[in-house]
Structure 1
Amino acid sequence: MLGIGLVNMLVALDQTVVSTALPSIVAELHGFEFYAWIASAYLLASVVTVPVFGRLGDYFGRKRFVIAAVIVFTVASVLCGLATDMRFLAAARALQGVGGGMMVGTAFASIPDLFPDPRARVRWQVVMAAAYGIGTAAGPSLGGWLSEHFGWRSTFLVNLPVGALALYFIWAHLPRYQPARTGEVRIDWTGAALVALVLGGFQTLIEAVPKSGLTPGNGALALAVLAGAAALLTCERRATHPIIPLDLFRDPQLVTLFTLSTLSGFVMFS
């Protein structure tokens, strides 16, 4: 849990730490037209990967995905720190977002596997949520301080020792819990692709509308997102092993939790 908590805070920090480092990054690398994509590439990749890897962890166990997430995230952090232009940095940030999304999709889901008792489970979920919230809130201040004293590259390279420490804890101590399943698992690749397209398109639309308004291109993108969402609902109703089980939304307690989670996301990122 210490290893998961470390990387969880690391993922939260990295979503916001870059905001105050961006002026220093643009001053050195130039390419102001890619300014927004340094943050957007990370968020877009993480939004797409969270549900996909969360569901794969349900089928095949969490440990392998948590380890892969730490490795991908740490390697991508090093690539960000070594970036020589804005295009390279945006691509490295997207890879970092894949690692971050894998981590978020598997870290919280590891807690029910490890702690069957509901009270113990809730305690650890509160600890993980607090670590995530603290990391999100502390990111801008930490990014500014690191950029001022050690240069903007330090905001990424500082992830290397923390990632290595977290990898040790997870590799050595996280149990390899294999979920019980009956019959053959058929991965819902069509659902996964539609989730990626819908969430990716929605994130792109959110970025584009404030910048350029309701242009014909943005209108077409909005229609494509709506069509993709309709196709996703149809696909998930028919799939034997859906990426997003629609039965979850029939439980009023879970719907309440989903709503609160969405609202807390608005508060944290604001």
Structure 2
Amino acid sequence: MLPKSALRRQKLAQSIDDALAKDDALFRALRGVPGFWRTSNGRLQVGGNYDYADDFLLIPFIGSNGLIQACQLKAIRKNSRTSPKYSWLSSIRQRDGCGPGTPLHYEGALGFKGKTIETVLVTEGALKAATCQSFLPDRYVVGNSGVATSHQEIVRTARYKALEIAFDADCFANPHVARALASLIASRVREQLFLSCEQPTRILKWDKRFKGIDDALIAGATVHYLDVPEWLKLLTPECFDAASHQLADISPSK
């Protein structure tokens, strides 16, 4: 939990810094860590230097090494219809601070230790990834921070492995999501052609009453596994046009 009070966040940041302190007084353990920065008087702060309207849930994005690489924030109570559901803990343009970028979350780095990876499943966000890893323990699950992000990293993670894509159910009706999903497929197909590899790519489909794969799994809904041509056939005309444009120079069949 990230407190809404700027003073409490400052005390939290200082306590973390103290716990990581080294003998070298010039060493700053939290320098360059997204969200942490130093004010003009040298005090360590995390988040903005002002009070928030509410506390935030901290959602860590785990790297492939199992360490936290960035954190998303989710408001405990949504304060307005226009405020985003998620935001990043960032200290970009602040002294000793930096931005988080758009990292890929590796839930599998926590829940798949010691197992042979045969199938990589990608979904939207760290929370959905955690749910998928719990319900589908034989998959190595990753979560991107948006449907259009981390495509090359996803493709590398799934190299020589089966890839399952579990973006939200609107990937059949939302042109933006369909375009992004097709772009990911195109990157995957190009790499497989280059490597002479034919591992399958599947798109997951479930009852459209459930937007996300997490809600579908929790409700016990049946999940269907589509190949790329099957997915294309189920798209709305606008989505089909958007996806076809991304796939124009390749012929995905699996």
Larger-gyration structure (1/2): 2
Q: Which has the higher contact order (CA 8 A, sep 6+)?
A: 1
Q: TM-score normalized by structure 2?
A: 0.25
Q: Which has the higher strand share?
A: 2
Q: Name the one with the larger helix percent.
A: 1
TM-score, normalised by the number of residues in structure 1: 0.24
